[in-house]
């Protein structure tokens, strides 16, 4: 079955084909194409991402003032979208790649704009300030299990103050101070200061007060423009099990809880299940209603609408930090792209544009690249034979000897594994000179391994000695190694590791379509990357 969109084609191999005698093999629903195969019933999302990383939206900034909102795609590029309510556009503008970001997986908590060309982005373990397409890490927590992590981020336009919520405390960000975060106590109704394991899940404000929710200790608040005062408990919410967030709409506060969505003023419960988050308009806090993001799909709950809303667009998993609200309309991001919800029942795609380049500049750069490539190829061919022979002679390796036993190969892989574990255990939350030295030692061990097993040169990734994918390929030979570990020890993006593992497997299958390997090292590599645990 093929999915064709914007000149790109996605292909899926159906298990054992489809039935040749059935009267109906497919049914087109609102969000899925359901297809009956011989041995399985499959459902295909109608909105697919055909552009890979270019269309995978990681974060969307809130709409504050004016019409501009910003979003980040998986290739770490910043984009601008004009969110005009009555005259919507369906294209965006690329502002270029953000340098200095290290985002692992779907790790983002919040992305927001605090002033023109200044943004803050929070992941579970890091807080970045982004200015001029350059990211600076202001705050970082250790990856060690049980350590603190960021749970929420909020910018108060009334106080011009940035709040960060973590598992352990609520704090104010101050870039001028050495400690960056000034913790603010939250105080229970019994008067006991509670700054340990607060687990801040939501922060919002109205005209005169600012509010926070904790996972299981209640709703807290204090007047605006008193940044050093404690937050006092307004309501005990233990009866709702857990609280996952709070929003303002006009003067109304709404709480996202385990039992449903609660209207705080009169404790009215909207029994909605499987809610990821709720979002309301930040600009002037209009009393229109709010958006509900489910684990799949979304809906809008107008204050004049009775009953429980039904989820829409259930083929899409919108991320919590990927929504910007403008009255009854919203811009939403997910792995399938960026969309505009029209306030009723329509979801319209917004094109994600690339950077514009003049045609003349494009021609000049293309010619320069081609000339450089031909020159590099010429020099490489002249030096390749002599260099390889010198390396083999230096290490005493006979290039005709491909009969090395499995035990020796495993021992050599173990040497690489040992270096990886030593470096991973030593990594802290701040980058040190010692870390760089250990990383260079690991890379040298990998180079020695590749020199000993020249058969790896059959793979295209191993022809560029010392490049990023060169080292990833060798680390993939370690049994049950996790992509996150490779990402950490080589200081590369985890998505790059995952994609490269897939590309290595595909290339090996093309080289050996019958599965008959002529060298043990590639056989072992294929076995390791093809294992279920990896």
Cβ neighbours of residue 139 closer than 8 Å, sequence gap 6 or more: 126, 127, 150, 164, 173, 180, 181
Cα–Cα distance for residue pair 453/47, rounded to 1 Å? 45
Cα–Cα distance for residue pair 236/239, rounded to 1 Å? 8
Nearest to 323 by CA among 63, 47, 52: 63
Cα–Cα distance for residue pair 452/408, rounded to 1 Å? 11
pLDDT of res. 388: 44
Q: Are 265 and 282 in contact (CB under 8 A)?
A: no
pLDDT of res. 49: 78
Cα–Cα distance for residue pair 470/451, rounded to 1 Å? 12
Cα–Cα distance for residue pair 207/29, rounded to 1 Å? 45
DSSP-derived secondary structure for 447-462:
HHHHHH-GGGGGSGGG
Cα–Cα distance for residue pair 245/309, rounded to 1 Å? 19
pLDDT of res. 433: 64
Please say whether the dihedral angle defined by the alpha carbons of residues 481, 484, 488 and 490, taken in this order, is positive or negative. Answer: positive
pLDDT of res. 402: 40
pLDDT of res. 405: 67
In this prediction the pTM is 0.65
Cβ neighbours of residue 509 closer than 8 Å, sequence gap 6 or more: 526
pLDDT along the chain (534 residues), means of 10: 84 83 85 87 86 83 87 94 88 94 80 93 94 93 84 92 92 76 79 67 92 92 88 90 89 90 89 90 73 94 85 92 92 93 90 69 75 74 52 45 65 89 74 77 91 88 83 89 87 87 89 85 87 47
pLDDT of res. 312: 94
Q: Are 105 and 346 in contact (CB under 8 A)?
A: no
Cα–Cα distance for residue pair 235/238, rounded to 1 Å? 9
Distance set, CA 361 to CA 98, 228, 355, 365, 372 (Å): 22, 54, 13, 6, 16
Cα–Cα distance for residue pair 276/269, rounded to 1 Å? 17
- Phi-psi label, residue 423: left if phi above 0, alpha if psi -120 to 50, beta otherwise: alpha
Q: Hey, what are 175's tokens?
A: 């870039």
Cβ neighbours of residue 443 closer than 8 Å, sequence gap 6 or more: 466, 471
């Amino acid at each position: 079955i093929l999915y064709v969109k914007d000149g790109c084609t996605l292909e899926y191999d159906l298990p054992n084909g489809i039935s040749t005698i059935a009267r109906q093999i497919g049914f087109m629903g609102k969000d899925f194409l359901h297809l009956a195969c011989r041995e399985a019933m499959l459902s295909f999302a109608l909105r697919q991402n055909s552009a890979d990383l270019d269309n995978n939206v990681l974060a969307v900034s809130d709409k504050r003032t004016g019409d501009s909102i910003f979003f980040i795609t998986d290739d770490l590029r910043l984009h601008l979208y004009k969110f005009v309510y009555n005259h919507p556009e369906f294209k965006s503008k690329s502002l270029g790649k953000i340098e200095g970001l290290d985002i692992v997986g779907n790790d983002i908590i919040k992305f927001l704009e605090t002033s023109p060309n200044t943004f803050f982005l929070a992941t579970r373990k890091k807080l970045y300030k982004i200015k001029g397409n350059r990211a600076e890490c202001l705050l970082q927590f250790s990856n060690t299990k049980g350590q603190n992590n960021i749970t929420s981020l909020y910018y108060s336009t009334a106080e011009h103050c940035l709040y960060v919520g973590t598992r352990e405390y609520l704090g104010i960000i101050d870039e001028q101070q050495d400690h960056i975060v000034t913790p603010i106590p939250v105080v229970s109704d019994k008067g006991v200061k509670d700054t340990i394991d607060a687990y801040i899940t939501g922060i919002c404000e109205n005209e005169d007060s600012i509010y926070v929710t904790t996972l299981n200790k209640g709703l807290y608040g204090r007047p605006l423009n008193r940044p050093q005062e404690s937050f006092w408990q307004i309501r005990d919410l233990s009866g709702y099990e857990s609280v996952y967030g709070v929003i303002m709409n006009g003067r109304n506060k709404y709480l996202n809880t385990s039992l449903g969505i609660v209207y705080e003023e009169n404790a009215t419960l909207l029994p909605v299940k499987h809610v990821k988050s709720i979002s309301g308009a930040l600009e002037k806090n209009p009393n229109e209603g709010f958006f509900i993001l489910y684990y799949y799909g979304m809906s809008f709950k107008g204050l004049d609408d009775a009953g429980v809303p039904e989820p829409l667009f259930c083929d899409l998993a919108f991320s919590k930090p990927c929504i910007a609200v403008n009255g009854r309309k919203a811009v939403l991001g997910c792995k399938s792209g960026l969309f505009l919800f029209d306030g009723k029942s329509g979801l319209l795609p917004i094109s994600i544009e690339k950077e514009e380049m003049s045609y003349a500049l494009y021609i000049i750069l293309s010619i320069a690249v081609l000339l450089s490539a031909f020159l590099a190829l010429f020099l490489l061919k002249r030096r390749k034979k002599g260099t390889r022979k010198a390396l083999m002679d230096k290490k005493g390796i006979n290039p005709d000897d491909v009969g090395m036993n499995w035990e020796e190969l495993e021992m050599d892989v173990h040497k690489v594994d040992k270096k990886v574990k030593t470096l991973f255990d030593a990594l802290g939350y701040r980058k040190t000179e010692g870390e760089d030295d250990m990383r260079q030692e690991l890379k040298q061990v990998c180079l020695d391994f590749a020199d000993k097993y020249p058969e790896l040169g059959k793979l295209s990734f191993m022809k560029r000695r010392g490049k990023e994918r060169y080292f990833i390929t060798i680390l993939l030979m370690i049994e049950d190694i996790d992509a996150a570990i490779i990402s950490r020890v080589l200081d590369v993006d985890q998505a790059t590791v995952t994609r490269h593992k897939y590309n290595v497997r595909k290339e090996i299958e093309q080289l050996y379509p019958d599965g008959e390997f002529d060298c043990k090292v590639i056989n072992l590599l294929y076995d390791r990357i093809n294992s279920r645990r990896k």
